[in-house]
Homo-oligomer: A and B are copies of this chain.
Amino acid sequence: MGRAESYHHGNLRRAVLDAAIAAITESGPSGWSLRELARRAEVSHAAPAHHFGDKAGVLTAVAAEGFELFADALERAAGEPYGAGVAYVRFAVDHRAYFEVMFRPELYRADDPEMAAARDRAGAVLAASGRELSRGERSERATTVAAWSLAHGFASLWLNGALPESGTGADVEELAREVLRVAFGGTE
């Protein structure tokens, strides 16, 4: 008898998280119930609550996993000019469900240590990136906040369909890079 069919599911956590990602992608971070996740994951209706407690428990796990992926992506991209900024936008577009949860801490338990560790790891990459962009000519802190705000706002507006460009099949990465360059100087 394979694990997948065993009485003890064996992968209930993963199955429920995958169901959550799918549900969030379709209906946003709060447009679903624990019973719907159970249906999607094909487990008993009480299983998600048994394992995660409540919706905030599920979303805490989503946020933690999201920040891990996010920090990895930023670390991989750092060093290149505007690498972190472009990777920030890329992540939001490629992992919309995670992104829509991560920066809304009222949805989950923001004191979760795993989530906080990954979030801080991402924050360190952004700070280093801001330091580099400031080149000693401008306040490091203000530059970091400016670049972070720009990447975050661009990603949010793009996902919301607020930028006319997002409907036209334009290349999000290219536009993000152009916008970063306009604000923070050439690629020299």
Contacts and interface: CB of A to CB of B under 8 A. Distances in A.
Count class of interface residues, chain A: 35 or more
A182 B150 contact: no
B156 A152 contact: yes
A178 interface: yes
Interface stretch (A8-16, A33-41, A71-79, A160-168): A160-168
A146 B183 contact: yes
Contacts of A179: 142, 145-146, 149
Interface string A117-151: 00000000000000000000011001101101111
Which 3 pairs show the lowest CB-CB distances between chains A and B?
A153-B153, A152-B153, A149-B153
Interface of A: 28, 30-31, 103-106, 138-139, 142-143, 145-146, 148-157, 160-163, 165, 175, 178-184
